[in-house]
Structure 1
Amino acid sequence: MTVTNSMLINLNKKYKFLLNNITNVIIETELDGTLTYVSPQVRDQFGYKPENVIGENFLEFIHTDDISIVKKALMDIIKFKKIFSVECRVKHKAGHYIPVSVQGNFVEVEYTLRLVGTLRDISEKKMAIKSHKNIERQLKTSEIKYRTIFEQIVDSIILIDSINGEIVDFNEQMHKTLGYTRDEFEKLRIPDFDLMENEEDYKTYLEKVVNIGSDSFETKYITKTGEIKDILVKVKAIEIEDKIFLHSIIRDITKERQVKKQTEEINTLKSELLKRTSHKLKTPLISIIGFTDLLLELHRDKFDTEIISILDEIKHGTERLEAIINKLLETSLLESGYMLLNPKKED
């Protein structure tokens, strides 16, 4: 008997130690929900004194929207003989609600069936879940935005594994630019269509971009039908899930290069025309100026004032025309790159 009392005393000590040192709130209710015991932790977590809530119905502290959930969980204990477990919101003395996890079971206390359970504040857990959902939603939104731009941009985009050089992603414009279907393009590597890359150079270049971070260059791609395209590539090393990829934006500049070439050819022809025309015009002008000077110098006394005036006008007009032709000649030489500098020493 003494041993039994001693064991009981020790057990009560352990029970009280547990009650006073756990962070969870322990409650005990009758079958109708009336609180018969509330641990001291209720003051810190919910602002109530234990003696002020004992005798109240537990359901009165539950958020209206959660009462049906709690009642169903209680019925499941009776029906399925399983541990009571539910998440709900419990009212704080200040008026706001705190999300809690409630776990419990029916036990016999002094020949009376009671519900004994624990209330654990899960506010941080809920905030973490909410934060995680927000992050997921933001990631999903960012992914949608990226994929929209990825697929609709007029430039080609390609993502390359920096380790093995495999193409891991590309947009629709990429395979269309080279005339391949998506399935066909998935099987290719960069050296398969880049005329300025072989496998050895390709590996070296991958290492280079990883080291320097980004690069921009022009190259030539060959399409499925054998057409050669001029290409501008802007590549940047990016990290995705602790792995380095090369994100490349590829622009077909074939038409730009063709227009530039045609413009250069036209400018060359124009310069040549101006140069030839200028020379051909200068020859008769020199003769006109020369003979006009000769007439004025040798035969001025034979001409009346009107004729002399006409001859002077012819001379000045041809001189002005010669100046214009010289300017055209200088312009053509400048555009063709053959303009010679004539440095002079000045005081």
Structure 2
Amino acid sequence: VLTNLSAHKQLEHALQKSQASWYDIVCNCPIPIGVGTVDGKVLYANDAILQLTGYSMEEMRAVNLRTLYVDAQSRLDVLERLRRNGAVRHHQVQLRRKDGSAYWAKLNILPFCHGGERAVLTTLEDITERLKAEEVWRETQERFHGLLEREKDILYTLDPEGKITFVSPAVEATLGYQPEEVVGSSFLSLIPTELHARASAAFQTAIEKGEVSGETILLDKNKQSHSIEYSVGAIRESGEVKAVQGVARDVTELTEARRQADTLRAAVEQSTDGVVVCDLAGKIVYGNRAFAKMHGYTHDELATMRNADLHTQELREEHERRVRLLKERGSWEGENYHVKKDGTVFPAYLSATMLQDSRGKNVGFVAIIRDITKARRIEKELSTYRAKMVQLEQFASLGTCSAMLSHQLNEPLTVVRLALEYSLETLQSTPCPEAVTEHLGAALRGVSKIGSIAKNFRRFARQGVPRARSELDLNAVADHTVRLFQELARRANTTLRLQGFDSLPPVNLRGDISQLFFVLTENAIQAADGKHSHEVTISGDMRNGHIELRFADDCGGIAPEHQARLFEPFFTTKPPRLGTGLGLPVAQDIVSQDGGDIRVESTPGVGATFVVRLPANGTMRDETA
């Protein structure tokens, strides 16, 4: 019996010790643990649950568990789960702390008997922060997928063998494929065959060196080409390449825009007109090659200058006035004077326009400048030719009037002279006062003098202005004529062409051939309407020992009723201010001085050709005739 009592005490002591150890473990366990009854009475709560809820043990025992639920229905749902399943595992519920703040917890509830009474063991896990993190992660994922859907660039992932494992939705907008249509295929399937070697080399470079970027061509679903800029990088784990990630951007439109920009830049740089861009302060931002050459500066020198530096000191005030007008009106054009690096002043025609940013704010101006020194010289030459033409026309007009006057006076003077001579003969056989015969004799002498004057008029009209023969290079004359009329022809939308003059020999002629070219070329250009494109061709050829010049245009021709009168003095079909009707008579006179001839060939509605024949060696006529 003593032995049994001793064993019983040892067992009881061991049990007490075990209970103390269990209690210490539960009290110090970091997991919130509590024991309560099914109806909500708290029997026990460890330190972790007290710390989580903010209650003391005494306060916790005075609280019914129903009041710790934020939503009363949640408490009923927990009890229903417990009844139906015999336990509650990993159930999320929102509870309330002593201070009223809510938190999310994960419950695990197991029923057991305590002192013959049914109780439940509950463990809690505060999952508030985890849920918040999951929400943040979910929002981040949604934003990421939203960005992927809105992102125009194609994001993709390749495995080490080059197979596509992921591609963003942008692939549909760019190439017409759904992502699932290309996932699993080689990236080379989207690249033209002729570019496979280069693409494979770039992929291998990314694997070996970590990253690579460049441009390539991708084919869309319809096999249309797209210019692509790409950048890829290798992803490594423990030194081993696990994947290759990259981004591809469709730059087809950008490439075309760059091409157009390059074309525009090349056009501006190669333009024969100067182009300059200045900021609002007048500092030169850009000047093309022609602008730099026009002023004798290098591009680097221009970059340090102001637009005003290209004007003489005397014209600075006028320049500033024009800049003010440009800023007020938005554009300005006209003639002014620029100065070169060496101090030479030259005339220029300028067309300037204000530059604005996307908001319509003025940021500078661009100007196109043309050196008109050559144009001024040509204008002066044209004026000289026109003045000479006026002189010739005046001379021709005087000659024509002289011939007409001589012809008209000849008949009445002859009648008067014969009547006076008959009267004197009659009076010699009839008594007559001496004074009468003297007066009639004086009248006869006066009539004879008027006849001599009329003959001189006629001789003047026939002889014209005598000229000495001179050697002429018809090719040089034709080329000079074209250069003189180049600008006038451009304004009339007409192209001037020369043919055959290279093979013509020098000629010795008396007529003013340059004036002949002037008259016939100007007439052809003036026949153009300016609305449609026209062409004037001046050609030269050797035919049967003489030179044939042809001035042909496609400006509509000459009406048949006018052709027979073209060489009549004062006949013209031009408006009063454009023609005197003496140009072609003058041309005919120039040609006739060397025994040549001029005629017209015309097809109404098509064009006209003036054909001039001149001697190649002075043998078309006898020079003494």
Q: Is the 8 Å Cα contact of residues 87 and 102 (structure 1) preserved in structure 2?
A: no
Q: Secondary structure at the match of 1:243?
A: strand
Look up the match of 1:173. 173
> Cα deviations across residues 85-134 of structure 1 (Å, max 9, x unaligned)?
5544554444434544352314151xx323131343x22x3312320221
Post-superposition offset of 1:246: 2.4
Normalised TM-score (structure 2): 0.35
Q: Is the 8 Å Cα contact of residues 82 and 105 (structure 1) preserved in structure 2?
A: yes
Q: How does 1:6-85 map to 2 (within 5 A)?
A: 6-22=10-26, 23=29, 24=31, 26-39=33-46, 43-54=50-61, 56-65=62-71, 67-77=72-82, 79-80=83-84, 82-85=86-89
Change over 3 Å in CA distance of 1:238–1:143 after alignment to 2? farther
- Cα distance between partner residues in 2 of 1:214 and 1:34: 68
Post-superposition offset of 1:139: 1.7
> Cα deviations across residues 240-284 of structure 1 (Å, max 9, x unaligned)?
996322222131156447646865896799659x9xxx9xx79x9
Identity within the alignment, % = 11
Letter in 1 for 2:13: I
Q: Secondary structure at the match of 2:140?
A: helix
> Cα deviations across residues 6-63 of structure 1 (Å, max 9, x unaligned)?
3233223222222222324554444533334445655444443434443x35325412
> Cα deviations across residues 299-335 of structure 1 (Å, max 9, x unaligned)?
xxxxxxxxxxxxxxxxxxxxxx99xx9xxxxxxxxxx
Letter in 1 for 2:175: H
- Cα distance between partner residues in 2 of 1:52 and 1:69: 23
Look up the match of 2:111. 105
Q: Is the 8 Å Cα contact of residues 88 and 102 (structure 1) preserved in structure 2?
A: no
- Cα distance between partner residues in 2 of 1:141 and 1:13: 58
Post-superposition offset of 1:174: 3.0
Change over 3 Å in CA distance of 1:19–1:26 after alignment to 2? farther
- Compare 237-246 and 163-172 and name the one that shifted more: 237-246
Change over 3 Å in CA distance of 1:240–1:115 after alignment to 2? farther
- Cα distance between partner residues in 2 of 1:53 and 1:257: 76
Look up the match of 2:211. 213
Look up the match of 1:244. 244
Q: How does 1:76-225 map to 2 (within 5 A)?
A: 76-77=81-82, 79-80=83-84, 82-85=86-89, 86-100=91-105, 101-109=107-115, 112-120=116-124, 122-123=125-126, 125-149=127-151, 153=152, 157=154, 159=156, 161=158, 163-167=160-164, 168-169=166-167, 171-176=171-176, 189-190=187-188, 193-194=191-192, 197-199=195-197, 201-210=198-207, 211=209, 213-217=211-215, 219=216
Change over 3 Å in CA distance of 1:40–1:258 after alignment to 2? closer
- Cα distance between partner residues in 2 of 1:147 and 1:258: 30
Q: Which has the higher helix share?
A: 1
Change over 3 Å in CA distance of 1:238–1:71 after alignment to 2? same
Look up the match of 1:311. none
Look up the match of 1:296. none
- Cα distance between partner residues in 1 of 2:249 and 2:60: 67
Normalised TM-score (structure 1): 0.57
Post-superposition offset of 1:72: 3.9
> Cα deviations across residues 151-197 of structure 1 (Å, max 9, x unaligned)?
xx3xx636351622334426123325xxx898987767437643652
Change over 3 Å in CA distance of 1:51–1:216 after alignment to 2? same
Change over 3 Å in CA distance of 1:5–1:192 after alignment to 2? same
Post-superposition offset of 1:198: 2.8
Letter in 2 for 1:71: L
Q: Is the 8 Å Cα contact of residues 29 and 36 (structure 1) preserved in structure 2?
A: yes
Look up the match of 1:330. none
Q: Secondary structure at the match of 1:140?
A: helix
Q: Is the 8 Å Cα contact of residues 175 and 220 (structure 2) preserved in structure 1?
A: no
Q: Is the 8 Å Cα contact of residues 221 and 230 (structure 1) preserved in structure 2?
A: yes
- Compare 12-21 and 30-39 and name the one that shifted more: 30-39
- Cα distance between partner residues in 2 of 1:87 and 1:184: 41
Letter in 1 for 2:204: E
- Cα distance between partner residues in 2 of 1:238 and 1:145: 23
Q: Is the 8 Å Cα contact of residues 62 and 88 (structure 1) preserved in structure 2?
A: no
Change over 3 Å in CA distance of 1:143–1:10 after alignment to 2? same
- Cα distance between partner residues in 2 of 1:134 and 1:188: 35
Q: Which has the larger radius of gyration?
A: 2
Q: How does 1:323-342 map to 2 (within 5 A)?
A: none
Q: Is the 8 Å Cα contact of residues 160 and 245 (structure 1) preserved in structure 2?
A: yes
Structure with larger RCO (C-alpha < 8 A, sep 6+): 1
Q: Is the 8 Å Cα contact of residues 216 and 235 (structure 1) preserved in structure 2?
A: yes
Q: Is the 8 Å Cα contact of residues 28 and 114 (structure 1) preserved in structure 2?
A: no
Letter in 1 for 2:135: K
Q: Structure 1: which 5+ residue stretches go unaligned?
A: 292-320, 326-347
Cα RMSD over matched residues?
4.8
- Cα distance between partner residues in 2 of 1:95 and 1:181: 52
- Cα distance between partner residues in 2 of 1:258 and 1:98: 62
- Cα distance between partner residues in 1 of 2:66 and 2:87: 22
- Cα distance between partner residues in 2 of 1:41 and 1:184: 54
- Cα distance between partner residues in 2 of 1:198 and 1:20: 72
- Cα distance between partner residues in 2 of 1:51 and 1:205: 73
- Cα distance between partner residues in 2 of 1:5 and 1:239: 69
Look up the match of 2:231. 235
Look up the match of 1:307. none
Letter in 2 for 1:233: E
Q: Is the 8 Å Cα contact of residues 66 and 75 (structure 2) preserved in structure 1?
A: no
- Cα distance between partner residues in 2 of 1:263 and 1:182: 39
- Cα distance between partner residues in 1 of 2:48 and 2:261: 81
Post-superposition offset of 1:82: 1.3
Change over 3 Å in CA distance of 1:258–1:244 after alignment to 2? closer
- Cα distance between partner residues in 1 of 2:175 and 2:92: 52
- Cα distance between partner residues in 2 of 1:8 and 1:126: 44
